[in-house]
Structure 1
Amino acid sequence: MARTVKVGIIGSGLAGLTAAYMLSSHSSEEVIFEVHIFEKSSTLGMDSSSISLPVPAQRREWRIDVPMRSFQGGYYKQLMSLYKHIGISFKKTDFSYSFSRLLPRRDTCARKITAALIYNGSSGTAGIGMPSSLSSLRKDQVESLVPSMALQLYTYCVFAIMCARLLILYIRILLLSIPIFRPHHVQVMTFRAWSELTVPRGTIARWTMLDIAWINFTRSVLVPLFSAVCTAPESSVYEHPVEEFLETDYIWLTLGFHHFVAMNGVQEVVGKLVANVQNIHLSSPVTRIESNHNDTSISSIHVSTSGGPRVFAGFHHLIFATQANGAAPLLESFISSLPPEAHSKRCAVEDQVACLRQFKYCSNLVINHTDPSLMPDDWRDERDLNLIYIEDDSFKVAAGEKASSSRRVPSTFTMATHVLTPPPGYPSHLPTVYQTTNPIEEPRESRILSVSTMERAVLTIQSKRALQGLNVEHGRMFWQSAGQGKSRLGPLQGARPFKELAHTPGIWICGSFAYSGIPLLEGCVVSAKNVVAQGIWKSEGVIGHIPW
């Protein structure tokens, strides 16, 4: 007769759902996994912030993912394999971008959002576009009597010089991002240190002003881009490990690959991942984890519900698929419940808590709205994704002091506004719907459709070191980037480092932060897969098969 192994999963983001899918899909004559998912929201976490808009005259809704979840073929290989395995269709979305500067409102002039760079998408094959500020040059901006043909020639010459300079800078960063050309200590180098180290200092660079161009490129393109990718302020971007920037998604690993989104949104992903999970506890925030004093091989989960507190007991394994700063207090409650003689288990879990405390989080704001005022002033500069930043530090300080509103963030963030594509049949007379992440300007209240706040892990040198306790990468060739080699569970996983702990509850940690690279969806899938295959299956003597 098969024995039942009870697994509690705290959190229902992609990591928790992936772990639940693997465990609930496993069939064995020896072991049956009884999976329980605990989620504090009223809907499963991966889809909990998404919204639905009615499509007039049609019996369906437009489901909008919050936040937007796109993935790229060069980096998200495990994610795409999982999606294909469960039958998720992809839609190619090679986004175009605009980079615009925001000049805040002053006493003497109105607020301005002016495009500085336009990237036309298609994995770079569509080139760059001419910003309206350049194409709209008036005669009096150059010379009052210059003929229109001469003015047009002048404009195109300026644009050609700008394109040539940008091409040189892009080729340079491509070369610098290739693994064999990186500094030997790049693994522990911050973006600030790297950007200063890579400023060209030769005589030719000074004569051609390439050094100044590189500094401006770093500040006006790379910092806003990575601020948007990491949804983090400028200060966090500069202190971010540079190795992950050079390889993840936008420079080295993006070459020759497309970006995609799930055709039917994450709601379909969630439904397919939990199809076989029988025990889903929604609106059930976990308040405590306790060890069982009568049977040290199991633990209990205490939750708060609308009907009062409840206790679910008998768990052989606990998977923390939640934020590091949320898992740490729960593990501390588990430590406090251990009997005095459980010294080894206490030390093992304390090491996990110390590791989790090293991870940094940043609060983010996502607003769905119909307010076009958060877009570039000239409609010709609008693209799929519109990145807007304040370049002048004096304005950042001034704006930052006023950023206490619940509808905007400090101005050291990059504001990213995605122009959402409506489904077929959506009336054209209805206003365009935008999704703005980290608005540094407030949308008009009457145009707001939804407001969501969330936290996201931001990588630091400190947390990168701590990650070695949860995930260890090995077998990476010299030309490969972090996350491209094989990975195994770190020594802190399971909290079972000694033989005497073999019969205590396994405590496992997964999530975007528990894998190499910028915390993204790929880390959710790989860390969950490792926890199940290398952790739970192995400890239970199960020979499982990963079908993707």
Structure 2
Amino acid sequence: MATIEPRRKYVAIIGTGMAGLVTAYMLRNDTRRRFEVEVFEKQDKLSLDSASHTLSDQNGRGEKLERLDLPMRAFADGYYEGLKRMYDYFGIEYGSPRFVYSLSALSDTATKQASPYYIHSSNNHQMPPLRPEGLSRARWLVEVCYLAMCYYWFTACCFFVTPKTAELSGEEEPLRWYLERIRLPGYYVKNYLLPLMSSVTTCSHDALMDFPAIDVVDYERRTFRKKHYTVLGGVHRVQKKLSEDLTYRLGTKVTAVENVGTKVQVSWTDTHNGQSSWELFDHVILGVTPDVVGAIFQPLQSAMAAVPTTTVQSVVHRDFSKILDSSKYLWTHMSLNAGESAPQPIHMRSNATATESIHEHPSFALITTCPIAPIDPEKIVHTVRFTRVLRSSSSRQIINHIFNRTQSGDEKSQLWQNGDGNVWLVGGWCWDGMVMLEGCLASAARVAHALDVEVPWTEGNDSSTSS
């Protein structure tokens, strides 16, 4: 007698960022072939690489030079172990660029060039640090010694002074309170910690200070003296691997996700002709930002309103006027040994409330993220805006409730939890940590485990390694 295969589960995945594509890949490649996956994307292209830009030459021939990842999506040992395992599984090559960070202060008008007050070489590839132009040796020596003391004090506190959390003390300690408690000097916080960390998190200084202290402390612990990497050739290579043989609907704006009996109904509108449609699924996985989740899934409308987000702008341009002097100085003094890749300067320029970063890309283009100073419109090549999910003490508790981290008794029964009604959340913000790509991998793996699907890069499959 012929064996009748059980009916496949019909799964909708909304969103094609890293989390959505990773989840789709795992379910689509389930060894027992139990899932039929359909992916919905509002844009006319998959979103993981949608903000990136292919740079053309300037000689009028329109030749394509290089794909610029926007945002950069750098990752580090110690914090991004799931991401690295996936890249190794797919044979995605990544390298450790020799970034050189210059830190400077912007004037109130943000129109003048600012001389760096410190220059840092990533992975300590240049020792001793470069001395900024115009800074005397004595003043530079004092600055370096002061910075070293503050840095190692902060590092020691990260390892030995645990931030207060709701789970341990009933109180969630934001970063600003933690820094006051460990008595970290304000000069170091203003001129070093905030510019560097707000560039990592792409948010204002005040927003960063509202982050749960445990987020920043855990990130510092796990990335201490670890190398940072970027994907060689661009993240579009990752998107291509994850989306092979993927069934997806582009130009489809999901308007509602609702439980209907034992099924989940997805309603959407075609962005080209305005036609509305709906379909029933066994499972729906939301790989979108909290504001979108709240707009389309009523049970989480109130909770998602309490998760902060901001809009981040990245600009590809060739307006070198604002960094000309400091850039010339860096290139004159940076060492380059035979066979080494050229350093990549990143100019971090701060005012009282925020930091802009200007990356001198090897393709002779500048990428400014969170711009403060005006950029010559005639020299702008490409501009993108994307939603950045932030963290706060209150939002950490909400997200941990959703993912069943701190619930018990009557409280548990009153709150929507991940997977209730066969609706699931994935994304960089769907875990207890900084909103990074590692959260995408962790949340996707959580859904896979709940549906009894193997995560291939954690099952001993180690096809290649790159670094």
TM range (shorter): 0.7 to 0.9
Task: Select the structure of larger CA radius of gyration.
Answer: 1
Rounded Cα–Cα distance in structure 2 between residues aligned with 1:354 and 1:303: 24
Change (3 A) 1:22 1:374: farther
Task: State percent identity of aligned pairs.
Answer: 23
Of 91, 103, 106, the residue aligned with 2:107 is: 103
Give the AA of the match of 2:309: Y
Contact 1:113 1:376 in 2 (8 A): no
Q: Residue 281 of structure 1 corresponds to which residue in structure 2? A: 249
Task: Give structure 1 stretches of 5+ with no counterpart.
Answer: 135-154, 201-213, 333-349, 392-411, 423-431, 475-489, 497-505
CA drift at 1:301: 3.0
The match for 1:137 is: none
Q: Is the 8 A contact 2:113 2:322 kept in 1?
A: no
Q: What letter matches 1:131 in structure 2?
A: P
- How far 1:226 moved relative to its partner? 1.9
2:19–2:440 contact (8 Å) kept in structure 1: yes
Q: Which residue in the other structure is 1:546 paired with?
A: 456
Match of 1:354 in 2: 302
Aligned to 2:121: 120
Structure 2, gaps ≥5 residues long: 332-343, 407-414, 459-467
Given candidates 194, 202, 214, the residue that maps to 1:231 is 202
Q: Which amino acid aligns with 1:216?
A: Y
Whichever residue aligns with residue 196 of structure 1, its letter is E
Quote the residue 2:281 is aligned against.
315
Moved more, 96-105 or 313-322: 96-105
Choose which of 216, 227, 230 in structure 2 pairs with 1:258. 227
- Whether 1:16 and 2:20 are equivalent positions in the alignment is yes
Confirm or deny: 8 A CA contact 1:42 1:283 kept in the other structure.
yes
Give the corresponding residue for 1:345. Answer: none
- Aligned length in residues: 427
Amino acid at match of 2:204: P
Q: CA deviation at 1:184?
A: 5.0
Counterpart pick for 2:71 among 37, 57, 67: 67
- 2:141 — aligned with what? 160
Q: Could you say what secondary structure the match of 1:188 adopts?
A: coil
Aligned to 2:373: 441
Taking CA–CA contacts closer than 8 Å with sequence separation of 6 or more, which of the two structures ends up with the larger relative contact order?
2
Letter in 2 for 1:445: P
Deviates more, 1:121-130 or 1:158-167: 121-130
Give RMSD over aligned pairs: 2.4
- The match for 1:419 is 360
Quick check: 1:231–1:413 contact (8 Å CA) kept in 2? no
Contact 1:65–1:266 at 8 Å: present in 2 too?
Answer: yes
Corresponding residue number in structure 2 for 1:80: 84
Aligned-partner SS, 2:206 = helix
Q: Corresponding residue for 1:375?
A: 323
- 2:441 and 2:233 map into 1 onto residues whose CA distance is 19
SS in 1 for 2:203: coil
2:404 and 2:259 map into 1 onto residues whose CA distance is: 28
| Residue 389 (str. 1) matches residue 350 (str. 2) | yes
- 3-state SS, counterpart of residue 547 of structure 1: helix
Match of 1:531 among 441, 447, 456: 447
Deviation of 1:94 (Å): 4.2
In 1: Cα distance, 2:47 partner to 2:455 partner: 26
Partner SS state of residue 245, structure 2: coil
Provide closer, same or farther for how the CA distance between residues 544 and 104 of structure 1 changes in structure 2, counting only shifts above 3 A: closer
Q: Distance in 1 between matches of 2:398 and 2:366?
A: 37
| Alpha-carbon distance in structure 1 between the residues aligned to 2:71 and 2:164 | 36
Is contact 1:132-1:381 (8 Å) kept? no
Hey, what's the Cα distance between the residues in 2 that align with 1:233 and 1:256? 25
**Shift of the alpha carbon at 1:125?**
6.3
Partner of 2:461: none
Q: Distance in 2 between matches of 1:112 and 1:190?
A: 34
Give me the whole-angstrom Cα distance separating, in 2, the residues matched to 1:545 and 1:50: 28
What is the CA–CA distance in structure 1 between the aligned matches of 2:208 and 2:24, rounded to whole Å? 33
TM-score norm. by structure 2 comes to 0.85
Structure 2 residue identity aligned to 1:35: V
Q: Match for 2:270: what amino acid? A: S
CA–CA distance in 1 between the matches of 2:216 and 2:381? 33
Runs of 4+ in structure 1 deviating by more than 4 angstroms, as ranges, are 55-60, 183-187
* Cα distance change on mapping 1:189 and 1:298 into 2, 3 Å: closer
Q: 1:545 to 1:171 in 2, by over 3 A?
A: closer
**Cα displacement (A) at 1:256:** 3.3
Distance 2:89 2:405 in 1: 25
